Amino acid sequence: MTPEQLRSFCLSFNAAVEEFPFPRVPEVSVFKVGGRMFALTTLDARPLTVNLKCDPEEALRLRGEHPGLIVPGWHMNKRHWNTVTVDGGLPDRLVRELVEDSYDLVVARLPRAERLRLDRP
* pLDDT tens digits, 55-79: 999 999 999 999 999 999 988 999 9
Residue 78 DSSP code:
T
pLDDT for 121: 52
5 pLDDT above the threshold of 90? yes
Between 74 and 34, name the one with better pLDDT. Answer: 34
Q: Which amino acid is at 61?
A: R
Three-state DSSP class for residue 103:
helix
- How far is residue 4 CA from its own chain's centroid? 15
CA atoms within 13 A of residue 14's CA, in its CB half-sphere: 10
Query: What is the reported pTM?
Result: 0.94
Instruction: Kindly report, residue by residue over 76-117, the tens digit of the pLDDT.
Output: 999 999 999 998 899 999 999 999 999 999 999 999 999 988
